[in-house]
């Protein structure tokens, strides 16, 4: 993962400084966007590693402060949800169980560095803190009893990513982003997200 992000970061830096200054224009001001993309959840422990794929969708926003002709610094906030759901069944000491985990809302807050790489093109690097919630349903049963328990849990970790945005109108843009999130305890996510947004 770190090699992928390092390669993206070096590519963005080369593109930013190789583009003629007259063509570079870093963004500034407020922005809001819709997000939709691919989501992969990886859960691992000392014995196994499981992967589940689904869709991630949500909204994001932020504000960019210009610090140079082709560089600006920004703050980000996002709230997303996911279609990922995992289930496992088994039997221990004569008791059967069925566990279902449904990935829920994810909150993110962080910072970014934007590089103007063309008249209507922006590349950026981002990093911050992310918190994900999961909803669990655990059912245990044997010949005489049937018990179902439901609860929610959340984990906090870090996220890093890189992306591109392209202006399509006076204040509208489309973009694409790769990001990696690590919540600790063997829980991580890879995401590739497309966005449609506006600047104010």
Coil, helix or strand at residue 7: helix
pTM for the model: 0.80
Query: Is the pLDDT at 134 greater than 90, yes or no?
Result: no
Confidence of residue 77 (pLDDT cuts 50, 70, 90): very high
The predicted model gives 70-81 an average pLDDT of 96
Are 122 and 74 spatial neighbours (Cβ–Cβ below 8 Å)? no
By the 10 Å C-beta count (0-12 exposed, 13-18 middle, 19+ buried), 76 is classed as buried
Whether residue 73 has pLDDT greater than 90: yes
pLDDT digits (tens, 9 = 90+) for 153-186: 899 999 999 999 999 988 999 999 999 999 988 8
Length of the chain as a residue count? 200
Tens digit of each residue's pLDDT (9 = 90 or more) over 6-24:
555 555 545 545 545 445 6
Q: Where are the alpha helices (DSSP H) in the chain?
A: 2-18
The answer to whether residue 137 scores a pLDDT higher than 90 is no
Rounded to whole angstroms, how far apart are CA atoms 161 and 192?
10
Q: What's 186's DSSP letter?
A: T
Q: Tell me, what's the pLDDT at 48?
A: 57
12: three-class secondary structure by DSSP: helix
3-state SS assignment for residue 145: coil
């Amino acid at each position: 993962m770190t090699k992928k992000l390092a390669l993206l970061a070096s590519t963005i830096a080369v593109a930013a400084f190789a583009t003629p200054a007259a063509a570079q224009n870093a963004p500034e001001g407020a922005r809001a966007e819709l997000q939709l993309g691919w989501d992969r959840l990886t859960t691992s422990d000392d014995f196994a590693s499981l992967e589940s794929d689904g869709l991630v969708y949500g909204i994001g926003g932020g504000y960019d402060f210009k610090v140079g002709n082709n560089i600006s610094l920004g703050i980000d906030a996002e709230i997303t949800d996911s279609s990922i759901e995992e289930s496992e069944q088994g039997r221990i000491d004569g008791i059967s169980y069925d566990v279902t985990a449904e990935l829920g809302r994810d909150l993110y807050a962080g910072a970014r560095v934007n590089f103007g790489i063309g008249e209507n093109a922006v590349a950026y690097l981002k990093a911050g803190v992310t918190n994900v919630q999961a909803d669990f349903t655990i059912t245990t049963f044997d010949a005489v009893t049937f018990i179902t328990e439901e609860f929610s849990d959340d984990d906090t970790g870090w996220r890093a990513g890189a992306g591109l945005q392209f202006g399509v109108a006076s204040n509208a843009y489309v973009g694409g982003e790769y990001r990696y999130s690590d919540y600790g305890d063997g829980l991580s996510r890879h995401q590739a997200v497309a966005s449609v947004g506006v600047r104010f």
